[in-house]
Structure 1
Amino acid sequence: MALLDEVKRELSEIDGEMVLAQKAQVTSMLRFGGGLRKSDRNIIVQAQFDSLDAAQWLQRAIKNLYGHDAMLTAVERQTPTGPVRRYMVIVERGGVALALQTGLLDRRKHQAVAGLPQELTAGNIAQIKAIWRGAFLAHGGLSDPGKASYLEIICPTDETALALTSVARRLGISAKPRQLRSSRRVTLKDPDAIERMLILMGAPRSAREWTGKRSDGEARGKANRLANFDDANMRRSAKAAAEACEKVRRAFEILGDDVPENLRAAGQLRLDHDDASLEELGRLADPPITKDAVAGRIRRLLQLADKVAKASQDADPEA
Protein backbone atom coordinates (compact mmCIF):
# COMPACT_ATOMS: atom_id res chain seq x y z
CA MET A 1 0.00 0.00 0.00
CA ALA A 2 1.32 3.47 -0.93
CA LEU A 3 2.20 5.72 1.99
CA LEU A 4 -0.49 8.25 0.99
CA ASP A 5 -3.12 5.51 1.21
CA GLU A 6 -1.76 4.50 4.62
CA VAL A 7 -2.04 8.08 5.87
CA LYS A 8 -5.65 8.36 4.73
CA ARG A 9 -6.52 5.01 6.23
CA GLU A 10 -5.01 6.04 9.58
CA LEU A 11 -6.90 9.35 9.52
CA SER A 12 -10.14 7.54 8.69
CA GLU A 13 -9.72 5.27 11.71
CA ILE A 14 -9.74 8.15 14.21
CA ASP A 15 -12.49 7.60 16.77
CA GLY A 16 -13.60 9.41 19.88
CA GLU A 17 -13.24 12.97 18.57
CA MET A 18 -15.60 15.54 20.06
CA VAL A 19 -18.74 16.22 18.04
CA LEU A 20 -17.66 19.73 17.03
CA ALA A 21 -14.42 18.36 15.58
CA GLN A 22 -16.28 15.61 13.71
CA LYS A 23 -18.66 18.19 12.24
CA ALA A 24 -15.72 20.38 11.21
CA GLN A 25 -14.20 17.39 9.44
CA VAL A 26 -17.46 16.62 7.62
CA THR A 27 -17.74 20.21 6.39
CA SER A 28 -14.12 20.24 5.28
CA MET A 29 -14.42 16.91 3.44
CA LEU A 30 -17.53 18.09 1.64
CA ARG A 31 -16.00 21.48 0.77
CA PHE A 32 -12.70 20.15 -0.54
CA GLY A 33 -14.14 16.96 -2.02
CA GLY A 34 -16.94 18.52 -4.02
CA GLY A 35 -19.60 20.76 -2.51
CA LEU A 36 -23.09 21.75 -3.57
CA ARG A 37 -24.87 21.19 -6.88
CA LYS A 38 -28.28 22.63 -7.77
CA SER A 39 -30.83 20.34 -9.39
CA ASP A 40 -34.48 21.19 -10.06
CA ARG A 41 -34.72 23.76 -7.26
CA ASN A 42 -33.04 21.26 -4.96
CA ILE A 43 -29.48 21.11 -3.68
CA ILE A 44 -27.43 17.95 -3.95
CA VAL A 45 -24.46 17.61 -1.61
CA GLN A 46 -21.66 15.50 -3.04
CA ALA A 47 -17.98 14.79 -2.57
CA GLN A 48 -15.48 12.55 -4.34
CA PHE A 49 -12.49 10.73 -2.81
CA ASP A 50 -9.62 8.52 -3.88
CA SER A 51 -9.84 6.65 -0.55
CA LEU A 52 -12.68 4.22 0.16
CA ASP A 53 -11.94 4.49 3.89
CA ALA A 54 -12.43 8.27 3.75
CA ALA A 55 -15.68 7.96 1.79
CA GLN A 56 -17.07 5.38 4.23
CA TRP A 57 -16.12 7.60 7.21
CA LEU A 58 -18.01 10.52 5.68
CA GLN A 59 -21.06 8.37 4.87
CA ARG A 60 -21.28 7.18 8.49
CA ALA A 61 -20.66 10.65 9.93
CA ILE A 62 -23.43 12.26 7.85
CA LYS A 63 -25.87 9.68 9.18
CA ASN A 64 -24.69 9.75 12.80
CA LEU A 65 -24.26 13.51 13.15
CA TYR A 66 -26.99 14.90 10.90
CA GLY A 67 -29.44 12.03 10.35
CA HIS A 68 -29.24 12.03 6.54
CA ASP A 69 -28.73 9.00 4.33
CA ALA A 70 -25.80 9.26 1.93
CA MET A 71 -25.20 7.07 -1.09
CA LEU A 72 -21.70 5.77 -1.78
CA THR A 73 -20.87 4.79 -5.34
CA ALA A 74 -17.63 3.84 -7.08
CA VAL A 75 -16.75 5.73 -10.26
CA GLU A 76 -14.05 4.60 -12.65
CA ARG A 77 -12.57 6.82 -15.31
CA GLN A 78 -9.77 6.49 -17.81
CA THR A 79 -6.62 8.59 -17.50
CA PRO A 80 -3.40 8.70 -19.56
CA THR A 81 -1.82 6.41 -16.94
CA GLY A 82 -4.71 3.95 -16.87
CA PRO A 83 -8.08 3.53 -15.12
CA VAL A 84 -8.59 5.36 -11.82
CA ARG A 85 -11.28 4.54 -9.27
CA ARG A 86 -12.94 7.24 -7.21
CA TYR A 87 -15.66 7.03 -4.52
CA MET A 88 -18.58 9.42 -4.57
CA VAL A 89 -20.66 10.28 -1.50
CA ILE A 90 -23.99 11.86 -2.47
CA VAL A 91 -26.86 13.27 -0.40
CA GLU A 92 -29.94 14.04 -2.52
CA ARG A 93 -32.85 13.95 -0.10
CA GLY A 94 -32.22 16.52 2.60
CA GLY A 95 -29.42 18.19 0.65
CA VAL A 96 -30.57 21.71 1.55
CA ALA A 97 -30.85 20.83 5.23
CA LEU A 98 -27.37 19.25 5.26
CA ALA A 99 -25.87 22.21 3.42
CA LEU A 100 -27.33 24.54 6.08
CA GLN A 101 -26.29 22.28 8.96
CA THR A 102 -22.68 22.04 7.78
CA GLY A 103 -22.42 25.77 7.07
CA LEU A 104 -21.77 25.25 3.36
CA LEU A 105 -24.92 27.26 2.60
CA ASP A 106 -25.18 30.76 4.02
CA ARG A 107 -28.43 30.99 6.01
CA ARG A 108 -28.87 34.71 5.38
CA LYS A 109 -27.90 34.91 1.71
CA HIS A 110 -28.99 31.36 0.93
CA GLN A 111 -25.96 30.88 -1.30
CA ALA A 112 -22.90 28.65 -1.18
CA VAL A 113 -20.03 29.77 1.05
CA ALA A 114 -16.97 30.59 -1.06
CA GLY A 115 -14.42 29.53 1.54
CA LEU A 116 -15.04 27.81 4.87
CA PRO A 117 -17.68 28.76 7.45
CA GLN A 118 -16.33 31.41 9.83
CA GLU A 119 -17.57 29.52 12.88
CA LEU A 120 -15.18 26.71 11.93
CA THR A 121 -12.10 28.79 11.12
CA ALA A 122 -12.61 30.66 14.40
CA GLY A 123 -13.26 27.43 16.31
CA ASN A 124 -11.11 25.60 18.83
CA ILE A 125 -7.86 23.78 18.02
CA ALA A 126 -9.59 20.40 17.72
CA GLN A 127 -11.80 21.89 14.99
CA ILE A 128 -8.78 23.43 13.23
CA LYS A 129 -7.02 20.06 13.16
CA ALA A 130 -10.22 18.49 11.85
CA ILE A 131 -10.41 21.05 9.04
CA TRP A 132 -6.95 20.07 7.84
CA ARG A 133 -7.70 16.37 8.32
CA GLY A 134 -10.88 16.65 6.25
CA ALA A 135 -9.18 18.65 3.51
CA PHE A 136 -6.33 16.14 3.31
CA LEU A 137 -8.72 13.18 3.15
CA ALA A 138 -10.61 14.91 0.35
CA HIS A 139 -7.82 16.21 -1.82
CA GLY A 140 -4.44 15.81 -0.12
CA GLY A 141 -1.13 14.62 -1.52
CA LEU A 142 2.15 13.57 0.08
CA SER A 143 5.58 13.12 -1.49
CA ASP A 144 7.16 9.69 -1.63
CA PRO A 145 10.18 9.32 0.68
CA GLY A 146 13.44 10.06 -1.10
CA LYS A 147 11.92 12.74 -3.33
CA ALA A 148 11.54 16.47 -2.79
CA SER A 149 9.39 16.85 0.33
CA TYR A 150 5.87 18.21 0.06
CA LEU A 151 2.44 17.89 1.58
CA GLU A 152 -0.25 19.69 -0.37
CA ILE A 153 -3.99 20.07 -0.71
CA ILE A 154 -5.78 21.00 -3.91
CA CYS A 155 -8.35 23.68 -3.14
CA PRO A 156 -11.62 24.37 -5.01
CA THR A 157 -11.42 28.18 -4.64
CA ASP A 158 -9.00 30.94 -3.71
CA GLU A 159 -11.06 31.50 -0.57
CA THR A 160 -10.62 27.91 0.62
CA ALA A 161 -6.85 28.13 -0.02
CA LEU A 162 -6.63 31.32 2.07
CA ALA A 163 -8.77 29.79 4.83
CA LEU A 164 -6.58 26.68 4.97
CA THR A 165 -3.42 28.81 5.09
CA SER A 166 -4.88 30.96 7.86
CA VAL A 167 -5.91 28.06 10.12
CA ALA A 168 -2.48 26.41 9.59
CA ARG A 169 -0.96 29.47 11.27
CA ARG A 170 -3.12 28.76 14.31
CA LEU A 171 -1.39 25.38 14.48
CA GLY A 172 2.01 27.10 14.30
CA ILE A 173 2.70 25.91 10.76
CA SER A 174 3.52 28.09 7.76
CA ALA A 175 1.69 26.93 4.62
CA LYS A 176 1.84 28.67 1.26
CA PRO A 177 -0.96 28.96 -1.30
CA ARG A 178 0.14 28.66 -4.92
CA GLN A 179 -1.36 28.41 -8.38
CA LEU A 180 -0.28 25.40 -10.44
CA ARG A 181 -1.73 25.49 -13.93
CA SER A 182 -5.50 25.49 -13.38
CA SER A 183 -5.49 24.35 -9.74
CA ARG A 184 -5.04 26.20 -6.46
CA ARG A 185 -2.93 24.44 -3.86
CA VAL A 186 -1.76 24.92 -0.30
CA THR A 187 1.69 23.39 0.15
CA LEU A 188 4.09 22.50 2.94
CA LYS A 189 7.67 21.82 1.87
CA ASP A 190 9.63 21.86 5.12
CA PRO A 191 10.09 18.22 6.26
CA ASP A 192 9.69 19.13 9.95
CA ALA A 193 6.45 21.01 9.21
CA ILE A 194 5.14 18.06 7.20
CA GLU A 195 5.89 15.63 10.02
CA ARG A 196 4.23 17.93 12.56
CA MET A 197 1.14 18.42 10.39
CA LEU A 198 0.73 14.66 9.92
CA ILE A 199 0.84 14.25 13.70
CA LEU A 200 -1.57 17.13 14.31
CA MET A 201 -4.05 15.73 11.77
CA GLY A 202 -3.94 12.42 13.65
CA ALA A 203 -1.49 10.22 11.73
CA PRO A 204 1.52 9.78 14.07
CA ARG A 205 2.25 6.25 12.81
CA SER A 206 2.44 7.42 9.20
CA ALA A 207 4.47 10.47 10.25
CA ARG A 208 7.11 8.22 11.81
CA GLU A 209 7.17 6.00 8.73
CA TRP A 210 7.43 8.98 6.36
CA THR A 211 10.24 10.55 8.38
CA GLY A 212 12.11 7.25 8.70
CA LYS A 213 11.92 6.48 4.99
CA ARG A 214 12.88 10.05 4.12
CA SER A 215 15.94 9.81 6.39
CA ASP A 216 16.91 6.49 4.79
CA GLY A 217 16.54 8.04 1.35
CA GLU A 218 18.67 11.03 2.32
CA ALA A 219 21.36 8.69 3.68
CA ARG A 220 21.38 6.71 0.44
CA GLY A 221 21.49 9.92 -1.57
CA LYS A 222 24.45 11.15 0.46
CA ALA A 223 26.26 7.84 -0.03
CA ASN A 224 25.64 8.02 -3.78
CA ARG A 225 26.91 11.59 -3.92
CA LEU A 226 30.05 10.61 -2.02
CA ALA A 227 30.60 7.64 -4.32
CA ASN A 228 30.17 9.86 -7.36
CA PHE A 229 32.54 12.40 -5.82
CA ASP A 230 35.17 9.72 -5.20
CA ASP A 231 34.72 8.40 -8.73
CA ALA A 232 35.14 11.89 -10.18
CA ASN A 233 38.29 12.40 -8.09
CA MET A 234 39.71 9.12 -9.35
CA ARG A 235 39.02 10.12 -12.96
CA ARG A 236 40.67 13.49 -12.46
CA SER A 237 43.69 11.87 -10.76
CA ALA A 238 44.06 9.33 -13.58
CA LYS A 239 43.87 12.06 -16.20
CA ALA A 240 46.46 14.19 -14.37
CA ALA A 241 48.81 11.19 -14.02
CA ALA A 242 48.49 10.37 -17.73
CA GLU A 243 49.30 13.97 -18.66
CA ALA A 244 52.29 13.96 -16.30
CA CYS A 245 53.64 10.74 -17.87
CA GLU A 246 53.36 12.24 -21.33
CA LYS A 247 55.29 15.33 -20.22
CA VAL A 248 58.03 13.19 -18.61
CA ARG A 249 58.45 11.14 -21.81
CA ARG A 250 58.80 14.35 -23.79
CA ALA A 251 61.37 15.66 -21.30
CA PHE A 252 63.44 12.45 -21.59
CA GLU A 253 63.35 12.70 -25.40
CA ILE A 254 64.56 16.32 -25.32
CA LEU A 255 67.26 15.83 -22.70
CA GLY A 256 68.56 12.42 -23.79
CA ASP A 257 71.41 11.42 -21.47
CA ASP A 258 71.80 14.94 -20.05
CA VAL A 259 69.47 14.43 -17.12
CA PRO A 260 70.58 14.76 -13.50
CA GLU A 261 70.26 11.38 -11.82
CA ASN A 262 67.84 12.51 -9.10
CA LEU A 263 65.51 14.06 -11.70
CA ARG A 264 65.74 10.99 -13.93
CA ALA A 265 64.86 8.72 -11.03
CA ALA A 266 61.80 10.78 -10.17
CA GLY A 267 60.68 10.87 -13.82
CA GLN A 268 61.19 7.13 -14.20
CA LEU A 269 59.10 6.46 -11.11
CA ARG A 270 56.29 8.43 -12.69
CA LEU A 271 56.50 6.36 -15.88
CA ASP A 272 56.79 3.04 -14.09
CA HIS A 273 53.84 3.72 -11.77
CA ASP A 274 51.47 5.85 -13.85
CA ASP A 275 48.46 5.30 -11.54
CA ALA A 276 50.28 5.99 -8.26
CA SER A 277 49.90 9.16 -6.22
CA LEU A 278 52.87 11.41 -5.46
CA GLU A 279 52.89 10.11 -1.89
CA GLU A 280 53.08 6.53 -3.17
CA LEU A 281 55.89 7.47 -5.58
CA GLY A 282 57.80 8.96 -2.66
CA ARG A 283 57.56 5.68 -0.73
CA LEU A 284 58.76 3.75 -3.83
CA ALA A 285 61.88 5.92 -4.22
CA ASP A 286 65.24 4.62 -3.01
CA PRO A 287 65.78 6.05 -0.50
CA PRO A 288 62.14 7.10 0.21
CA ILE A 289 61.37 10.82 -0.15
CA THR A 290 58.38 13.04 0.51
CA LYS A 291 55.65 13.67 -2.04
CA ASP A 292 56.75 17.34 -2.19
CA ALA A 293 60.25 16.20 -3.12
CA VAL A 294 58.87 13.98 -5.90
CA ALA A 295 56.71 16.80 -7.23
CA GLY A 296 59.63 19.25 -7.06
CA ARG A 297 62.01 16.93 -8.96
CA ILE A 298 59.47 16.20 -11.69
CA ARG A 299 58.75 19.92 -11.97
CA ARG A 300 62.47 20.73 -12.32
CA LEU A 301 62.82 17.94 -14.92
CA LEU A 302 60.08 19.47 -17.04
CA GLN A 303 61.45 23.00 -16.58
CA LEU A 304 64.92 21.81 -17.65
CA ALA A 305 63.45 20.16 -20.75
CA ASP A 306 61.53 23.33 -21.63
CA LYS A 307 64.71 25.40 -21.19
CA VAL A 308 66.77 23.10 -23.42
CA ALA A 309 64.02 23.02 -26.06
CA LYS A 310 63.78 26.83 -26.08
CA ALA A 311 67.56 27.22 -26.30
CA SER A 312 67.67 24.77 -29.22
CA GLN A 313 64.93 26.67 -30.99
CA ASP A 314 66.67 30.01 -30.44
CA ALA A 315 69.93 28.60 -31.84
CA ASP A 316 68.21 27.25 -34.95
CA PRO A 317 65.01 29.21 -35.58
CA GLU A 318 64.21 27.17 -38.74
CA ALA A 319 64.54 23.81 -36.96
Structure 2
Amino acid sequence: MALTADLKYELIKLRPSKGELRLAELSVILRFTASVHVINATMVLEAEFESSQLAGRVKSEIKELFGIESRVDILHASGVRKSSRHNLRVVKQADLLVRQTGLYYPTGKPVRGIHSRFVSDSVDVAASVWRGALLAQGSLTDPGRTASLEISCPSNEAASSLVGLAKRLGVAGAKSREVRGVHRVVIREGDDISKLLELVGAAGIQSRWDQLRAKREVRTTANRLANFDDANLR
Protein backbone atom coordinates (compact mmCIF):
# COMPACT_ATOMS: atom_id res chain seq x y z
CA MET A 1 0.00 0.00 0.00
CA ALA A 2 3.05 2.29 0.20
CA LEU A 3 2.79 3.32 -3.44
CA THR A 4 -0.93 4.06 -3.10
CA ALA A 5 -0.44 6.21 0.00
CA ASP A 6 2.47 8.07 -1.56
CA LEU A 7 0.55 8.60 -4.80
CA LYS A 8 -2.39 10.15 -2.96
CA TYR A 9 -0.08 12.29 -0.83
CA GLU A 10 1.54 13.67 -3.99
CA LEU A 11 -1.82 14.35 -5.65
CA ILE A 12 -3.24 16.08 -2.56
CA LYS A 13 -0.43 18.62 -2.75
CA LEU A 14 -1.37 19.56 -6.33
CA ARG A 15 -3.69 22.56 -6.59
CA PRO A 16 -5.04 23.25 -10.09
CA SER A 17 -5.11 26.96 -10.87
CA LYS A 18 -8.29 26.88 -12.95
CA GLY A 19 -11.68 26.70 -11.29
CA GLU A 20 -13.05 24.21 -13.85
CA LEU A 21 -10.26 21.75 -13.03
CA ARG A 22 -10.81 22.12 -9.27
CA LEU A 23 -14.54 21.59 -9.78
CA ALA A 24 -14.03 18.45 -11.88
CA GLU A 25 -11.68 16.97 -9.29
CA LEU A 26 -13.97 17.82 -6.36
CA SER A 27 -17.05 16.51 -8.16
CA VAL A 28 -15.49 13.11 -8.79
CA ILE A 29 -14.09 12.83 -5.26
CA LEU A 30 -17.59 13.39 -3.89
CA ARG A 31 -19.17 11.13 -6.51
CA PHE A 32 -16.90 8.28 -5.46
CA THR A 33 -17.06 8.79 -1.68
CA ALA A 34 -20.29 10.58 -0.73
CA SER A 35 -23.82 9.53 0.09
CA VAL A 36 -26.86 11.78 0.24
CA HIS A 37 -29.64 11.41 2.80
CA VAL A 38 -32.80 13.31 3.65
CA ILE A 39 -33.16 13.84 7.40
CA ASN A 40 -36.17 15.74 8.73
CA ALA A 41 -36.89 17.04 5.22
CA THR A 42 -33.32 18.36 4.94
CA MET A 43 -30.77 17.01 2.48
CA VAL A 44 -27.49 15.93 4.08
CA LEU A 45 -24.29 14.95 2.26
CA GLU A 46 -21.71 12.74 3.95
CA ALA A 47 -18.38 11.47 2.64
CA GLU A 48 -15.82 9.22 4.33
CA PHE A 49 -12.07 9.40 3.82
CA GLU A 50 -9.13 7.37 5.12
CA SER A 51 -6.89 10.43 5.02
CA SER A 52 -7.32 13.50 7.20
CA GLN A 53 -5.42 15.46 4.54
CA LEU A 54 -7.93 14.56 1.84
CA ALA A 55 -10.88 15.30 4.12
CA GLY A 56 -9.38 18.71 4.88
CA ARG A 57 -8.71 19.35 1.20
CA VAL A 58 -12.32 18.58 0.26
CA LYS A 59 -13.62 20.74 3.11
CA SER A 60 -11.54 23.72 1.97
CA GLU A 61 -12.49 23.27 -1.70
CA ILE A 62 -16.19 23.23 -0.86
CA LYS A 63 -15.74 26.44 1.11
CA GLU A 64 -13.57 28.21 -1.47
CA LEU A 65 -15.57 27.22 -4.55
CA PHE A 66 -19.10 27.52 -3.17
CA GLY A 67 -18.91 29.29 0.20
CA ILE A 68 -20.57 26.27 1.83
CA GLU A 69 -19.54 25.16 5.30
CA SER A 70 -18.91 21.54 6.26
CA ARG A 71 -17.53 19.71 9.27
CA VAL A 72 -15.16 16.76 9.58
CA ASP A 73 -15.50 14.24 12.43
CA ILE A 74 -13.24 11.29 13.24
CA LEU A 75 -14.90 7.87 13.23
CA HIS A 76 -12.67 5.75 15.45
CA ALA A 77 -11.89 2.12 14.67
CA SER A 78 -14.44 -0.26 16.17
CA GLY A 79 -16.18 -3.47 15.14
CA VAL A 80 -16.12 -3.85 11.36
CA ARG A 81 -14.25 -0.54 10.98
CA LYS A 82 -10.61 -1.64 11.13
CA SER A 83 -9.13 1.85 11.09
CA SER A 84 -10.22 5.39 11.85
CA ARG A 85 -12.07 7.28 9.13
CA HIS A 86 -12.77 10.96 8.61
CA ASN A 87 -16.40 11.79 7.99
CA LEU A 88 -17.20 15.03 6.15
CA ARG A 89 -20.76 16.25 6.60
CA VAL A 90 -22.65 19.04 4.82
CA VAL A 91 -26.08 20.02 6.12
CA LYS A 92 -26.74 23.63 5.21
CA GLN A 93 -27.01 24.09 1.44
CA ALA A 94 -26.26 20.43 0.69
CA ASP A 95 -29.00 20.57 -1.95
CA LEU A 96 -27.14 23.42 -3.67
CA LEU A 97 -23.80 21.61 -3.41
CA VAL A 98 -25.01 18.40 -5.07
CA ARG A 99 -26.35 20.37 -8.03
CA GLN A 100 -23.32 22.65 -8.37
CA THR A 101 -20.90 19.72 -8.30
CA GLY A 102 -22.88 17.66 -10.80
CA LEU A 103 -23.96 14.92 -8.39
CA TYR A 104 -27.58 15.79 -9.12
CA TYR A 105 -29.31 17.24 -12.15
CA PRO A 106 -31.16 20.58 -11.72
CA THR A 107 -34.39 18.55 -11.74
CA GLY A 108 -33.33 16.86 -8.50
CA LYS A 109 -32.54 13.51 -10.11
CA PRO A 110 -29.20 11.93 -9.10
CA VAL A 111 -26.51 11.46 -11.75
CA ARG A 112 -25.69 7.76 -12.14
CA GLY A 113 -22.21 8.16 -13.59
CA ILE A 114 -19.96 11.18 -14.01
CA HIS A 115 -21.77 14.33 -15.14
CA SER A 116 -21.60 14.93 -18.90
CA ARG A 117 -20.19 18.43 -18.35
CA PHE A 118 -16.92 16.81 -17.27
CA VAL A 119 -16.98 13.82 -19.62
CA SER A 120 -17.27 15.98 -22.73
CA ASP A 121 -14.85 18.73 -21.69
CA SER A 122 -11.13 19.28 -22.40
CA VAL A 123 -8.23 16.87 -21.94
CA ASP A 124 -7.17 18.87 -18.86
CA VAL A 125 -10.59 18.29 -17.32
CA ALA A 126 -10.35 14.58 -18.18
CA ALA A 127 -7.03 14.43 -16.30
CA SER A 128 -8.65 16.21 -13.32
CA VAL A 129 -11.48 13.66 -13.30
CA TRP A 130 -8.94 10.86 -13.15
CA ARG A 131 -6.98 12.67 -10.44
CA GLY A 132 -10.14 12.94 -8.34
CA ALA A 133 -10.93 9.25 -8.87
CA LEU A 134 -7.42 8.25 -7.81
CA LEU A 135 -7.63 10.37 -4.68
CA ALA A 136 -11.03 8.97 -3.79
CA GLN A 137 -10.77 5.26 -4.59
CA GLY A 138 -7.49 4.56 -6.37
CA SER A 139 -4.81 1.96 -5.70
CA LEU A 140 -1.40 1.35 -7.27
CA THR A 141 0.64 -1.84 -6.89
CA ASP A 142 4.32 -2.49 -7.49
CA PRO A 143 5.41 -3.40 -11.03
CA GLY A 144 5.35 -7.14 -11.66
CA ARG A 145 3.08 -9.88 -12.94
CA THR A 146 0.13 -8.46 -11.01
CA ALA A 147 0.98 -4.77 -11.43
CA SER A 148 -2.13 -2.64 -11.69
CA LEU A 149 -3.68 0.75 -11.21
CA GLU A 150 -7.28 0.35 -10.06
CA ILE A 151 -10.27 2.53 -9.27
CA SER A 152 -13.28 1.25 -7.31
CA CYS A 153 -16.34 2.93 -8.81
CA PRO A 154 -19.80 3.63 -7.38
CA SER A 155 -21.59 2.39 -10.52
CA ASN A 156 -21.08 0.78 -13.89
CA GLU A 157 -21.84 4.12 -15.54
CA ALA A 158 -19.06 5.84 -13.59
CA ALA A 159 -16.63 3.07 -14.54
CA SER A 160 -17.57 3.38 -18.22
CA SER A 161 -17.05 7.14 -18.08
CA LEU A 162 -13.55 6.68 -16.62
CA VAL A 163 -12.65 4.19 -19.35
CA GLY A 164 -13.83 6.61 -22.02
CA LEU A 165 -11.86 9.48 -20.49
CA ALA A 166 -8.74 7.29 -20.26
CA LYS A 167 -8.98 6.60 -23.98
CA ARG A 168 -9.27 10.35 -24.64
CA LEU A 169 -6.06 10.76 -22.68
CA GLY A 170 -4.36 8.15 -24.86
CA VAL A 171 -4.51 5.37 -22.27
CA ALA A 172 -6.08 2.58 -24.29
CA GLY A 173 -5.54 -0.21 -21.76
CA ALA A 174 -8.16 0.88 -19.20
CA LYS A 175 -10.80 -1.83 -18.74
CA SER A 176 -14.03 -1.93 -16.77
CA ARG A 177 -14.97 -5.07 -14.84
CA GLU A 178 -17.14 -6.15 -11.94
CA VAL A 179 -15.38 -7.97 -9.11
CA ARG A 180 -17.45 -9.31 -6.20
CA GLY A 181 -20.20 -6.80 -6.87
CA VAL A 182 -17.85 -3.81 -7.14
CA HIS A 183 -17.34 -2.02 -10.45
CA ARG A 184 -13.66 -1.39 -11.09
CA VAL A 185 -11.52 0.25 -13.73
CA VAL A 186 -8.21 -1.58 -14.10
CA ILE A 187 -5.04 -0.67 -15.99
CA ARG A 188 -2.35 -3.38 -16.14
CA GLU A 189 -0.07 -2.36 -19.01
CA GLY A 190 3.07 -0.73 -17.61
CA ASP A 191 3.32 1.99 -20.26
CA ASP A 192 -0.33 2.95 -19.73
CA ILE A 193 0.13 3.18 -15.96
CA SER A 194 3.21 5.36 -16.37
CA LYS A 195 1.45 7.63 -18.87
CA LEU A 196 -1.60 8.12 -16.67
CA LEU A 197 0.56 8.95 -13.64
CA GLU A 198 2.27 11.60 -15.75
CA LEU A 199 -1.01 13.06 -17.01
CA VAL A 200 -2.53 13.46 -13.54
CA GLY A 201 0.60 15.24 -12.31
CA ALA A 202 2.16 12.50 -10.17
CA ALA A 203 5.66 12.98 -11.58
CA GLY A 204 7.40 11.73 -8.44
CA ILE A 205 5.48 8.46 -8.25
CA GLN A 206 5.75 8.00 -12.01
CA SER A 207 9.55 8.21 -11.82
CA ARG A 208 9.66 5.83 -8.87
CA TRP A 209 7.28 3.35 -10.52
CA ASP A 210 9.28 3.41 -13.77
CA GLN A 211 12.51 2.75 -11.86
CA LEU A 212 10.93 -0.21 -10.06
CA ARG A 213 9.63 -1.53 -13.37
CA ALA A 214 13.06 -1.22 -15.02
CA LYS A 215 14.71 -3.10 -12.13
CA ARG A 216 12.04 -5.80 -12.36
CA GLU A 217 12.62 -6.22 -16.09
CA VAL A 218 16.40 -6.49 -15.63
CA ARG A 219 15.94 -9.08 -12.89
CA THR A 220 13.45 -11.06 -14.99
CA THR A 221 15.81 -11.07 -17.98
CA ALA A 222 18.72 -12.21 -15.79
CA ASN A 223 16.64 -15.04 -14.32
CA ARG A 224 15.53 -16.13 -17.77
CA LEU A 225 19.12 -16.27 -19.02
CA ALA A 226 20.21 -18.18 -15.92
CA ASN A 227 17.45 -20.73 -16.44
CA PHE A 228 18.41 -21.05 -20.10
CA ASP A 229 22.07 -21.67 -19.23
CA ASP A 230 21.06 -24.19 -16.57
CA ALA A 231 18.91 -26.07 -19.09
CA ASN A 232 21.82 -26.20 -21.56
CA LEU A 233 24.15 -27.62 -18.90
CA ARG A 234 21.72 -30.42 -18.27
TM-score by length of 1: 0.68
Rounded to whole Å, the distance in 1 between the matches of 2:222 and 2:48 is 42
Q: How does 1:45-64 map to 2 (within 5 A)?
A: 45-64=45-64
Is 1:195 matched up with 2:194? Answer: yes
Shift of 1:158: 1.0
CA distance 1:227–1:79, change in 2 (3 Å): farther
Rounded to whole Å, the distance in 2 between the matches of 1:162 and 1:186 is 8
Rounded to whole Å, the distance in 2 between the matches of 1:7 and 1:38 is 35
Rounded to whole Å, the distance in 2 between the matches of 1:38 and 1:231 is 69
Contact 1:5 1:51 in 2 (8 A): no
Contact 1:43 1:96 in 2 (8 A): yes
Rounded to whole Å, the distance in 2 between the matches of 1:230 and 1:75 is 57
Letter in 1 for 2:132: G
Q: Which residue of structure 1 aligns with residue 75 of structure 2?
A: 75
Letter in 2 for 1:151: L
Rounded to whole Å, the distance in 2 between the matches of 1:139 and 1:155 is 7
CA distance 1:230–1:73, change in 2 (3 Å): farther
Higher alpha-carbon deviation: 147-156 or 23-32: 147-156
Q: How does 1:273-292 map to 2 (within 5 A)?
A: none
Rounded to whole Å, the distance in 2 between the matches of 1:84 and 1:221 is 37
Rounded to whole Å, the distance in 2 between the matches of 1:219 and 1:75 is 45
Letter in 1 for 2:141: S
Is 1:126 matched up with 2:105? Answer: no
Letter in 1 for 2:120: A
Shift of 1:83: 3.0
Rounded to whole Å, the distance in 1 between the matches of 2:67 and 2:102 is 16
Q: Which residue of structure 2 aligns with residue 107 of structure 1?
A: 106
Q: Which has the higher contact order (CA 8 A, sep 6+)?
A: 2
Q: How does 1:8-157 map to 2 (within 5 A)?
A: 8-77=8-77, 83-108=82-107, 110-157=108-155
Rounded to whole Å, the distance in 2 between the matches of 1:8 and 1:73 is 21
Identity of aligned residues (%): 33
CA distance 1:79–1:9, change in 2 (3 Å): farther
Rounded to whole Å, the distance in 2 between the matches of 1:147 and 1:48 is 32
After superposition, give the CA deviation of every residue in 1:119-148 in whole Å (9 maximum; x if it has no partner). Answer: 111122221111111011000011123452
After superposition, give the CA deviation of every residue in 1:39-95 in whole Å (9 maximum; x if it has no partner). Answer: 222222222223332222111101111111222223344689x93233222212221
In our comparison, the structure showing a higher alpha carbon Rg is: 1
Matched residue count: 233
CA distance 1:15–1:229, change in 2 (3 Å): same
Contact 1:77 1:84 in 2 (8 A): yes
RMSD: 2.1
